[in-house]
Amino acid sequence: MNCRLWVAASLLAGGLLLVSCGPASPPKQSRLPGQGFLHRLDRAESLALRGQAHPSPAGMDGVRRALGLPVAVAFPGRVVVLGADPYLQGLDGRSPGDFRNAVARIRTMRSGVFEALATRPPDRRAIGDAVEAAYRDVPRIHPSLLSRLRDAVARALGSAVRNLVQFRGWKTIIEWAFVLAVAFVLVRTLARGRLVPDRAVPEGRVVTRGRARVDDWNRLAEEALARGEVEAAVRALYRGMLATLAARGIVGDDPTLTAGECRLAVGSRRPAILSAVAEATGAFERVAYGEEPGGMSDVEALRRAEGAVRAA
């Protein structure tokens, strides 16, 4: 919600040319408080209403002078630099319609100012505390040696490919020598049949390994409930559900998998259980990110989801 309000405050209903990301802001003494800019808008609107009865270019110039653009307006937690409004600059004031359009423009600007004044900047400390609390009780999962080696090889290969057209002397030679050495070892290993791909592992072994992890997470959840720590139990049950999904091949065995990615994977591979999984991931997100305290209804939602995954 804060992001939407800040965008509205920054754009002032999309009608103003903002240059806050361009040159440096004017000195502090030239910044106009939000309430002061509201007074300018009131004065400009009054002149525009009178100008409808007696339109003239001079009257429209008076409306623009009353606004006093460009100006730096101070809102809570932010200063926005408003440039000259191209729309108002294009009204010559020779007809009552020009002044009616100016009134509508000014009122739109006023709505944006009111919304910006009512908005407070986000509490970054509270956000950081919520993120830290979400993972405080989650056991750290370290990648295996084989996973780290695969990542290192992948990074080296990627670096070599990126530098394919950029010869940088001895460093490029060393990188390509490393790539060729790795390729030679892989080819020899494959030729001798020593490398068994993941898909050749019997399904029973994968499920057994995943089952053991699920039991560990469920045990942690029961211990947390016995201590009265419902939020910790929700996090543990969520990890157990991910382990069950990974054991069935619905999602990857990845500790960094997000709740949104989990829902996408389940929706594409097991749509029949998407409703239960979506309810469970929603419960986890509410608790983990501090939107509301955890309850037994969240615990039951995660238990139902794991049961649905097992039965799928």
Q: Residue 165: inside a domain, yes or no? A: yes
Q: Report the pLDDT value the prediction gives residue 94, as an integer from 0 to 100.
A: 93
User: Closest Cα partner for 69 from 52, 84, 81, 59?
Assistant: 84
| pLDDT band at 184; cut points 50, 70, 90 | confident
Q: Residue 278: inside a domain, yes or no? A: yes
Q: Residue 258: inside a domain, yes or no? A: yes
285-296 pLDDT tens trace = 888 887 778 889
Q: Is 74 helix (H, G, I), strand (E, B) or coil?
A: strand
Identify which has the larger pLDDT, 174 or 274.
274
Task: Say what angle helices 2-11 and 96-117 make with each other, to 10 degrees.
Answer: 140
Residues 189 and 209 in one domain: no
**What's the total number of domains in the chain?**
3
Is the model's pLDDT at 89 over the cut of 60?
A: yes
| pLDDT band at 140; cut points 50, 70, 90 | low
In which domain, by residue range, is 301 found?
203-311
Residues 220 and 250 in one domain: yes
Rounded Cα gap, residues 277 and 284, in angstroms: 11
Last residue of one domain, picked from the residues 153, 170, 195: 195
Is the model's pLDDT at 38 over the cut of 80?
A: yes
Length of the chain: 312
Q: Letter for the amino acid at 271? A: P
Residues 153 and 243 in one domain: no
Is the model's pLDDT at 19 over the cut of 50?
A: no
Q: Residue 301: inside a domain, yes or no? A: yes
Residues 88 and 167 in one domain: no
Beta bridge partners, 74, equal 33, 79
End-to-end C-alpha distance for the chain, whole angstroms: 37
CB 73 within 8 A of CB 41: no
Q: Residue 175: inside a domain, yes or no? A: yes
Which of 33-47, 188-202, 288-302 is least confident? 188-202
